[in-house]
Amino acid sequence: MTARAAVRSTAKRKPEQQAKSEAIAKARAVAPDVAARIGSTPRTKFRGDADIFGRLVEDHDRHRALLAMIEETEGKSPDRQRLFRELTKELKAHAAAEEQALWSSVLRDPETTDFARHAIAEHKEIDDMLADLAARDMASSGWLRRFAGLKDEYLHHIREEEQEQFVAAEAHLNATDVRYMRRVFNRRKREEKAAAKIEPKIKLKA
């Protein structure tokens, strides 16, 4: 057993379903009357962990719920506007905090540079998709089509992180690293979310 695996086996850890339910509840608080049907999620060994990887998966589950809730809304309803605003701020803050807390360290290791760069590049693509959606008519069929594209892209991104990139990164970090990274992530995310702005800009072709 590696030192990191030993830490996971002894550290205080939430049951997986509890961790998932708590993350979904945070999304539901944004629009309590909208259902959050996220269904099954990809398997990950990190859900409920008390370190950086568990914290990132917690956000991922929250984002899965926000995406599902937006699909339950219609037109330019207050719920859709509120949920999209929350999703945009969440994804922007999460990406910036993740890059500082995790990927900035992983980039320094030649063995993990490539997938760190890949994750960061996908953050930029998702940010462009959010800006494009913000610039378009929320009540149009085109908006829904583009939103479906964003959802597919983001779900692919976080599945890849949870099942591949986090696993590879974990092998190059020690227990002190991952606990410290969680603290850095939490601090940076609070700052980024408070400062996050929705910047409508057509980024993609019609």
Given CA atoms 167, 171, 176, 180 in this order, what sign does their dihedral have? Answer: negative
Would you say residue 138 lies in a domain? yes
Would you say residue 109 lies in a domain? yes
> In the 8-state DSSP scheme, what is residue 193?
H
Say how far apart CA 35 and CA 49 lie, in whole Å.
27
Please state whether the predicted TM-score (pTM) of the whole model is above 0.75.
yes
pLDDT for position 10: 45
Would you say residue 183 lies in a domain? yes
Residues 6+ apart with CB under 8 A from 40: none
Tally helices (H) and strands (E) across the chain: 9, 0
Q: Which CATH number goes with the domain that contains 149?
A: 1.20.120
The residue range of the domain holding 191 is 14-195
pLDDT for position 1: 39
Residue 129 token pair: 């998709």
Would you say residue 6 lies in a domain? no
Say how far apart CA 204 and CA 131 lie, in whole Å.
9
Task: Give the residues of the chain that fall short of pLDDT 50.
Answer: 1-3, 6-7, 9-10
Number of domains in the chain: 1
Would you say residue 9 lies in a domain? no
pLDDT for position 91: 98
pLDDT for position 206: 59
User: What is the pLDDT of the chain when averaged over all its residues?
Assistant: 92
